[in-house]
Structure 1
Amino acid sequence: MKTFLPALVFLITCQVGLAQRGISETGLWSQYFYNAPVAENFRIAGDFQYRTYELADDFQQFIARAAIAYTPKIGTLELHAGYGYFYGEPFGDSDAGTSEHRLHQDIWMDTNAGKTVSIRHRFRFEERFIEDQDFRSRARYTIFVNIDFYKDDQLSKFYLPFWNEVFINGETELRNSTVNRFDRNWSFGGLGYRISPALRAQAGYMREITSNTSKGQLVLSLFQSF
């Protein structure tokens, strides 16, 4: 069972990716994630993101998101409920932007995979309120895998992060269009570095696959705990 979900996600990604039209431009996604305790078993967790269609040009999207996270005293579950603001522009010279207000609920689960490998699962449900569009919902599943290194039983500052996320649309028949049930898939691999116990950085490459296209993204991430 531990290997079934990663293998299934990998096979789906490969099958969908065979039919995609590739986009030659590589985008850049800059991300900052934070979490801070506010009470016993409660935290604020969120992120800011800035995305471009090309490495140094063509704005794509800005994201500001925050959630209340609750960790029960028993077990390995985490429960999140939050809100996000999104503003995006289409590919190319057009500056006609679209804003979105989005609610989300997360269920996080840890898997015991031994000393050198950590595995986390996230199930996310979203309610999307997009400017001048019908209400939409979406389900997302992500598997996060970090591979740690040890020397003389000491944890290295470097680690290898991998993750894969699948997006499934809740509605397919909209007011002026029809969308596929499968929305997109993200696959990431990179290198992480622990700057301090409360701060770490990651850099890597992600492949985004949608119903019609596939595109590469350079992803730079900073994670901070207060």
Structure 2
Amino acid sequence: MRKLSLLIITLISLNSFAQQVAESNPAKELGVWYMYNGSHQISNKFSLKTMAHFRFFEIGDDMQQFIGRLGGNYKFNKNISATLGYAFLNTDRTFEINNGDFNEHRIYEDLNVNHKIASLSLAHRFRAEQRFFESTTGNFFRYQLALSHPINKKWSTYLYNETFFDFDGEAYNQNWFGGGFKYKISDIIKLQVGYQLINVNEVNNFNRIQLGVAISTDHKK
């Protein structure tokens, strides 16, 4: 119970800190991503992957992007799986409230490779995305390396880096680097708090706090 209280205090402190940064320097707001991620096991081999992210330029104000994903995952063995899915995005490109929104549809394919080195878990994700927006098509290739390590039975820490490559423009598109902590409430629910640095086209950097919940269910029985 004390650890859960500590996590709640940490979340409140991060929100307060982000608001102070935004007020002291409006040109460099510290944004926030509110995240839901789900994994729902249907059989020994198949599961559904669900996701909904609400991404804000500032804390609770001026939403930059909503993204929802739904995918089917097939597990080849304990280390390798693949996902085929669909994503819908609504994005504001103008940094202004209710202005410049556009919708995007994506088809994506993931190859996931997981393994361990002692107690350190490593996850490699290779993702191809086909993008459809404003009568335009595009293609991304993304590679993510994620590391996670348990602190105790409830807490774990993680670190990741993901690079985006654009087949239709400059090869390098953007890079996401982040890390944080996860708290296990139960076998079904985990909470997440973290930080992410986004570099776009080697020009712009964006700082984001991540607050999330992950839900895993098992429907095999």
Give the CA deviation at 1:75.
5.0
Which of 39, 43, 52 aligns to 2:43? It is 39
Q: Decide which structure has greater helix share.
A: 2
The percentage of counterpart residues that share the same residue type is 26
Q: Which residue of 1 aligns with 2:155?
A: 158
Deviations 1:2-42 (A, max 9, x none): xxxxxxxxxxxxxxxxxxxxx61111111101111223410
Give the CA deviation at 1:159.
1.0
Listed as ranges, the gaps of 5+ residues in structure 2 are 1-26
Q: Does 1:61 align with 2:51?
A: no
Q: Distance in 1 between matches of 2:63 and 2:189?
A: 27
Structure 1 residue runs of 4 or more that deviate by more than 3 Å after TM superposition: none
Listed as ranges, the gaps of 5+ residues in structure 1 are 1-22, 150-154, 173-179
Q: Which residue of 1 aligns with 2:205?
A: 214
Deviations 1:121-174 (A, max 9, x none): 100000000124x2100000011111112xxxxx421111111110000112xx
1:36 alignment partner AA: H
CA root-mean-square deviation:
1.3
Which of 106, 112, 122 aligns to 2:110? It is 106
Q: Distance in 1 between matches of 2:145 and 2:191?
A: 19
Structure with larger RCO (C-alpha < 8 A, sep 6+): 1
Q: Does 1:122 align with 2:125?
A: yes
Q: Does 1:77 align with 2:80?
A: yes
TM-score of the aligned structures, taking structure 2 as reference length: 0.82
2:166 alignment partner AA: N
Q: Which residue of 2 aligns with 1:19?
A: none
Q: Distance in 1 between matches of 2:204 and 2:92?
A: 17
Q: Which residue of 1 aligns with 2:187?
A: 197
Give the CA deviation at 1:221.
1.5
TM-score of the aligned structures, taking structure 1 as reference length: 0.80
